[in-house]
Amino acid sequence: MKALIKELVEAFGPSGYEEQVAELIRAKAQAVADDIRTDNLGNLIVLKKGTGGGKRVMISAHMDEIGLIVSYIDKKGFARFNPVGGLPISTMTGARVRFANGTVGVIYNEKDGWAGPGSLADCYIDTGATCPEDSPVQIGDVACINRPMEELGPRLTSKAMDDRIGCAVALQALLELPASPNDVYFVFSVQEEVGCRGAMVAAFGIEPDVAVAVDVTSWGDTPQAKPMAIELGKGPAIKVKDGGMLAHSGVKRWMVASAEAAGVPYQLEVLIGGTTDAYTIQTARAGVPTGCLSVPTRYVHSPSEVVDYNDVLNATRLMVQMLANPISW
C-alpha cells in the first residue's frame, strides 16, 4: 500500500478543492466498483453490491486536508491568509505551501519564532513577489502544505495523513473485498475539515443501515504527551467516544468481534477533543448506527503527520473482515 499512500498524501486537496484526490481514487476503484458517482457537493461514492440479504453499509473517509486561502496582498507582494480548517500556528512558521497553479510559498511569522508563536494574523506567505502586480497568486487562491511522504523505519510521515490514510484504508479494503452479503457504499467525502459537510449530505442520500467513518486519531506515546491510551504500532483504534459523538454500542461490538475474529490487534479510543464524519452521519435523517475506525497518528494537523505502516495494514484487514461477513450485534 505504500505507493498508494504516497500518491494520495502528496496530492493537492484542501477543503472544497478535492477533485485531484477524487480522480486518483476513481481511477483505482472503477475496475471493481458496481457504480461510481459524484454527488452535488463533490463526494465520490463507490458502490460495491452485495450478494443479497445483508445491510446497506456506508464507509466514509474524507479526501480534504487543512489549507489556507489568500485574503490580502500587501504593497510588497506578501500574501495574508485565513485558515481553511484547523491550521495550528505552532507548526506554520517556515512551512512551505503549494497552490493549485503550482506556486510554492513560505509561511513566516512577523513576530518570528524567537518572540513566541503569535497568531495566524501575524503570518504571511512569501511567494517571491515584490508587489501585487507580480504576485503569482490572487485573493481567494487556496493552498495546502507542501511536504512529501518519507519513511521513518516502520513509520510513514507526510502532510495530509489526515485523512488520506483513511482513504487508503477504505480504497484498499474495496479492492480486496470478496463477495459480501452487504451493499457497501464507500464514500470519499469532502469538506470534513470545515464541518463534516460532505458526509452529512452523503448519508442523507444513501440512507445507510449502518456506517463507519475511517479517520485518524491522536496519540499518547511521546514524551509528556497528554494521557491517552493510544500508541502507534499497537493496532488500529475502535472509537468509543470523541468530542462530537458517542459510538453506537452495537457497532462498537461488531468492530471488536471482527478484529478478534481476524486476529487483528486493536485499541479502544476515547478522544477528548475533535471529531470525524461519524458525527454528522449518525444524526442523518432518522439516525444511523455509526462507529469509527481510527488510525493512530502523531502530530495531527502539522506538516509532518506520522503513522505506523502496520497499523494501516491491520486497519485494512479489519475493514475487510467487517464487510465480508453478515453484520450483527
pLDDT (tens digit per residue) in 276-299: 999 999 999 999 999 999 999 999
Q: Helix crossing, 2-9 with 19-29: angle to 10°?
A: 150
Domain residue ranges of the chain, discontinuous segments joined by +:
2-65+159-324, 67-145
At residue 113, the pLDDT reads: 56
Identify the band that residue 89 occupies on the pLDDT scale cut at 50, 70 and 90.
confident
Core vs surface per residue 176-193: b (16+ CB within 10 A) or e: ebeebebbbbbbbbbbbb
Same fold, 2-65+159-324 and 67-145: no
- Region 11-18: mean pLDDT is 98
Q: Which residues form the catalytic set?
A: 192
C-alpha cell at 36: 461510481
Nearest to 43 by CA among 200, 275, 278, 216: 200
At residue 112, the pLDDT reads: 64
Question: Could you give the percent of the chain with pLDDT greater than 90?
Answer: 90
- Region 163-168: mean pLDDT is 97
At residue 117, the pLDDT reads: 60
Nearest to 141 by CA among 149, 132, 150: 132
Q: Bin 96: left if φ > 0, else alpha if -120 < ψ < 50, else beta.
A: beta
DSSP 3-state assignment of 78?
coil
How far apart are the C-alpha atoms of 215 and 70, rounded to whole Å?
A: 28
Neighbours of 114 (CB within 10 A): 6
CATH of 67-145, one of 2.40.30.40, 3.30.70.1170, 2.40.30.10, 3.30.1650.10: 2.40.30.40
- Region 6-29: mean pLDDT is 98
How far apart are the C-alpha atoms of 180 and 141, rounded to whole Å?
A: 44
Residue 176 pLDDT greater than 90, yes or no: yes
- Region 17-45: mean pLDDT is 97
- Region 213-239: mean pLDDT is 94
Residue 78 pLDDT greater than 60, yes or no: yes
Helix H or strand E encompassing 107 = strand 104-109
* DSSP states along 119-176: -GGGEEEE-S-SSGGG-SS-TT-EEEE----EEETTEEEETTHHHHHHHHHHHHHHHH
Let me know if domain 2-65+159-324 sits in CATH 3.40.630.10: yes
How far apart are the C-alpha atoms of 292 and 306, rounded to whole Å?
A: 19
At residue 110, the pLDDT reads: 83
Residue 80 pLDDT greater than 70, yes or no: yes
Residue 10 pLDDT greater than 80, yes or no: yes
- Beta-carbon contacts of 177 under 8 Å, excluding residues fewer than 6 positions away, are 32, 48, 184, 320, 323, 324
At residue 116, the pLDDT reads: 58
Top pLDDT among 226 and 124 is at 124
